[in-house]
Amino acid sequence: MNQAIQSGNHPDAESLNAFVEQALTGTEREQVLAHMATCGRCRQVVYLAQEAAGVEGDLAARVVSDDGGRDRAPSLKPQRNWFGGWRLAWIPVAALAGFVGFAVLQHARHSPLESQVAVNSLQEKGEESAASSRITNSKAVDKTEAGSKKTKSSAQEQGPARAKSAPERSDSNTPMAKFDAVEQAKKPAERSADSVTRSSQNEGDKARDSADVSNSVGAVYLSHQEAQEEALKKTENLDKDEQRRQKENKQLQTAQVSVVGGTGKPPSAPPVGQAGSASFGAAASPAAKAPVANGQPTLSASNYKAATAGRVMADLKAKRTLLPNGTAALSVTTAKGRTIALDPSGTMYMTEDAGKSWVSITSQWTGRAVLVRTRETPAQADAVTPNNNAVFELVNDNIQTWVSSDGKIWVPQVVPPK
Amino acid sequence: MAYLRGVDASPLQPVDEPLSGDVTAGIAGLPKDLLDTLWRECGAGNWGLGRDEFDNILYVEGTAHNFGLDLSVPVSLAQQGAFFGGLKLGDLVLARACAAGHERAWVHFVAIYQEPLARAAIAISGNETIGRDLAGALYAELYGLTERDGLRRCPLNSYRGRGSLLGWLRTTLAQRHVDQYRRGHREEPLDDFDAPSLERPVAESPVALPMVAQAVEQALGESEAEERFMLAAYFLDERTLAQIAAVLGVHEATISRRLRRATDAVRKQVLRNLRNLGISKRAAEEALGTDPRDVELQIDLKTLMQSSRSQSFSDLETSSGMASGEGSPKKAAE
């Protein structure tokens, strides 16, 4: 080989042919390439030999295809199998088809849930519009109420009307329908909390009694069937807790009604707009608090929707929180990295490490604590508190409120004299 | 392809000379088991070759170039086996049997290679008459009609089995055709020579052209052999990417990518060389923008890449073929 590529000589036919057929070693190939880079004659030889090989290859392919039994006139162009060139293309095509099929299946699996959610959202929209009209009515009632019997009677008239709508829609067995029914019944109860009456309180209790059903809102992101199963399971498991809560609610309502009937206003009632969220097992979320304008609740539809979802999620969170005494938390709230929880007996626990270790808080309030929640603003509405930096609020079974800035030291909240 | 005109043809490859090498008698260096295996597989006995002849062929092929390795490297048994395994032993023994004049080998050779040889010659020459003449001449030479010093000489003795015998025949045909054409081209009348017009205006170049030539020569000298081959094939021979890819055995997209990379590298290197020669960057870039046709009139940059100044074979063939009306459609299309 080396002898064949001396200076001034050309590679012999053996070397050039071996180069074309890729049969040379690396060193030999480099030598031939170096020569051909400067030798037009050898390049021409290689090109011509390559062309002749191509003609021969085409002819051989034509002969092979003719041997296949096809009686056709010989053509100058090689007849290639049309699908032959696509042989390798079947692999990505098959992969693409598989992907599309998977996507269609996934879409088919989720489409019922989406349609269900769409239906529910439409229903909620309708309810929101209805609720807003009711809120307007409630405003009008609230303006003229001021403890008069006329307002009380009108509220009593509204109560059955609202309560009537809930059973009408709760005939559906689907969790989402139950959730709608519960929300339908719950909304008026929350909005008219400043004009608490027995009937409206009962109506709110009904909503709270079936609040567990609304836990299925968390299953909106699950499949429809899973959401149904989960909601039914939760409904069964928490049935006992709900019964106990009903009793506690009734006791609380009894005490509240007696207070309203006696003084016209509870001694330390929660601020306006927050009472609606004073439900058992539910911590008031920021969104759940209605904006206050001139002491009047002005809940918008979106705020109301968010408040409802926040309450439901807080309720879920409370039920999932397991306290050191082995019981599920009755009420849970979190702020400033601290989580405060109440057990059903009213004992308060606090944790600063996301529930890894709990500290029992000595009772500094009267009665049984039934609700803890977080305050968004230091001083809310017209309430005056000794500590304007208070973050947490506690409500006992007498609807009295205590506030705390750190969750350890609690002081009663004082309502300013009008 | 004017750069190739009027250039003497390079020395021809002596394809009819026997394989040179320090061949000594005996096969003591090769393992007997390996030789037995190769003997059975290649079927050398079918063409009338004896075992001694076969062993001698292998010994010559193996030891002439140290089994494809450097001469200073000791060769192991495995390397010997790999070397012989890479040879086209069937073709090799057939060629040697034909060269030795064994009748059965010739019958087989004619039956197998006569028609492909004719088709290849027609494809190479682009003309059936010329092609058949070319194939007939080589066929006669292969048969050993040529004698030198009273000895029958056969070009098949130079076939060493590195590639296929048919490929070797095609390459030999191409060599013969190119050399024949180049010899005939020197006998063409000067009237057909298309000399460049002297009235053609020469563009002013901001940089001295010899400096550009020196910078280009240095840049090309520093590039790899394969890059230089691709540049020459693409820019000088005006071959397509597919043709270059077929020669190098890679995809044409690879050729395109390597060409672009090589062009950029050469351009940068030329700029760098011009800067090293004391030319400002702007002047160097302007020099690279000079029309190569203008540069060619004075320094002929292509001679830097083309030591053997021969006219592009296909171009001349096309022009002559079209003038005589005998050119192939493919060449005429080019």
pLDDT in tens, A167-210: 343 344 444 444 444 444 444 444 444 433 444 444 444 444 44
Chain A residues with beta carbon closer than 8 angstroms to that of B121: 52
Which pLDDT tens digit goes with each residue over B207-262?
Answer: 567 788 888 888 888 888 889 999 999 988 889 999 899 888 889 899 999 999 99
Residue B159's nearest CA partner among B325, B323, B16, B259 is B16
CB-neighbour burial class of residue A241 (10 A; exposed 0-12, middle 13-18, buried 19+): middle
Question: Rounded to whole angstroms, how far apart are CA atoms A259 and A236?
Answer: 35
Task: Give B188's pLDDT tier (boundaries 50, 70, 90).
Answer: low
Percent of chain A with pLDDT over 90: 4
Q: Is the pLDDT higher at A29 or at A138?
A: A29
pLDDT at B308: 42
Mean pLDDT of B301-316: 49
Direct distance between the N- and C-terminal alpha carbons of chain B, in angstroms, rounded to an integer? 13
Q: Is the pLDDT higher at A112 or at A163?
A: A112
Lowest mean pLDDT among A38-47, A51-60, A158-167: A158-167
Contact in structure between A375 and A392 (CB atoms under 8 Å): yes
- Note whether B168 contacts A13, CB cutoff 8 Å: yes
What residue type is A182 in one-letter code?
A: V
Question: Rounded to whole angstroms, how far apart are CA atoms A274 and A401?
Answer: 11
pLDDT at B78: 79
Mean pLDDT of B173-194: 75
Which tokens hold the place of A333? 């709230």
Indicate the average pLDDT of chain A: 62
Helical axes A198-209 vs A175-191, angle rounded to 10°: 150
Report the predicted TM-score, pTM, of the whole model to 2 decimal places: 0.45
DSSP labels, A132-167: HHHHHHHHHHHHHHTT-HHHHHHHHHHHHHHHHHHH
pLDDT at A208: 45
Question: Rounded to whole angstroms, how far apart are CA atoms A351 and A360?
Answer: 9
Q: Over 60: is that where the pLDDT of A49 sits?
A: yes
Lowest mean pLDDT among A10-14, A47-51, B3-7, B176-180: B3-7
Mark out the alpha helices in chain B (DSSP H runs): 32-42, 51-64, 77-86, 89-99, 103-125, 128-143, 165-185, 209-222, 225-231, 241-248, 252-276, 281-288, 292-298, 313-324, 329-333
Find, in chain B, the residue whose alpha carbon is nearest to that of A11. B13
Question: Rounded to whole angstroms, how far apart are CA atoms B17 and B155?
Answer: 7
B-interface mutation test, from A2, A6, A20, A24, most B Cβ less than 10 A away: A20
Which tokens hold the place of B158? 């130079």
CB-neighbour burial class of residue B265 (10 A; exposed 0-12, middle 13-18, buried 19+): middle
Looking at the partner chain, which of B174, B306, B310 has a beta carbon nearest the beta carbon of A48? B174
- Note whether A50 contacts B246, CB cutoff 8 Å: yes
pLDDT at B302: 56
Query: Does A61 reach chain B within 8 Å, measured CB to CB?
Result: no
Angle at the Cα of A49 (from A47 to A55), degrees rounded to 5?
105
Task: Give B288's pLDDT tier (boundaries 50, 70, 90).
Answer: confident
Contact in structure between A352 and A391 (CB atoms under 8 Å): no
Helical axes B77-86 vs B32-42, angle rounded to 10°: 10
Which pLDDT tens digit goes with each residue over B17-55?
Answer: 443 333 333 344 667 777 788 888 888 778 888 888 888
Q: Is the pLDDT higher at B116 or at B319?
A: B116
pLDDT at B258: 92
The most confident of the ranges A169-173, A313-317, B138-142 is B138-142
Q: Over 70: is that where the pLDDT of A388 sits?
A: no
Task: Give B196's pLDDT tier (boundaries 50, 70, 90).
Answer: low
Mean pLDDT of A151-178: 40
Calculate how close chain B gets to A97, using CA atoms only, in Å. Answer: 29
- Note whether A48 contacts B177, CB cutoff 8 Å: yes
Chain B residues with beta carbon closer than 8 angstroms to that of A25: 68
Calculate how close chain A gets to B282, using CA atoms only, in Å. Answer: 31
Which residues are CB-contacts of B24 (< 8 A; sequence separation ≥ 6)?
A: none
Helix (H, G, I), strand (E, B) or coil at A406: coil
Chain A residues with beta carbon closer than 8 angstroms to that of B123: 51-52, 55-56
- Note whether B124 contacts A48, CB cutoff 8 Å: yes
Question: Rounded to whole angstroms, how far apart are CA atoms A402 and A412?
Answer: 4
Which tokens hold the place of B321? 């073929």
Provide the number of CB pairs (under 8 Å) joining chain A to chain B.
Answer: 156
Which bin fits A124, alpha (ψ -120 to 50), beta or left (φ > 0)? alpha
Mean pLDDT of A258-276: 40
Q: Over 90: is that where the pLDDT of A285 sits?
A: no
Query: Does A300 reach chain B within 8 Å, measured CB to CB?
Result: no
Direct distance between the N- and C-terminal alpha carbons of chain A, in angstroms, rounded to an integer? 114
Contact in structure between B270 and B286 (CB atoms under 8 Å): no
Q: Over 80: is that where the pLDDT of B195 sits?
A: no
Q: Is the dihedral of CA B108, B111, B116, B121 positive or negative?
A: positive
Q: Over 60: is that where the pLDDT of B177 sits?
A: yes
Which residues are CB-contacts of A316 (< 8 A; sequence separation ≥ 6)?
A: A215, A218
Query: Does B86 reach chain A within 8 Å, measured CB to CB?
Result: yes
What residue type is B107 in one-letter code?
A: V
Q: Write the DSSP symbol of residue B8.
A: P
Mean pLDDT of A2-22: 73
Task: Give A266's pLDDT tier (boundaries 50, 70, 90).
Answer: very low
Residue A43's nearest CA partner among B228, B85, B49, B186 is B228
Indicate the average pLDDT of chain B: 73
Mean pLDDT of A23-48: 88
pLDDT at A87: 66
pLDDT at B255: 92
Selected residues 193-212 of chain A with any CB under 8 Å from a CB in chain B: none
Calculate how close chain B gets to A44, using CA atoms only, in Å. Answer: 7
Looking at the partner chain, which of A17, A44, A54 has a beta carbon nearest the beta carbon of B167? A17
Q: Over 80: is that where the pLDDT of A106 sits?
A: yes
Contact in structure between B176 and A45 (CB atoms under 8 Å): no
Task: Give A82's pLDDT tier (boundaries 50, 70, 90).
Answer: low
Element (H, E) at A402: strand A401-404
Chain A residues with beta carbon closer than 8 angstroms to that of B173: 49, 52
Q: Is the dihedral of CA B75, B81, B84, B88 positive or negative?
A: negative
Chain B residues with beta carbon closer than 8 angstroms to that of A57: none
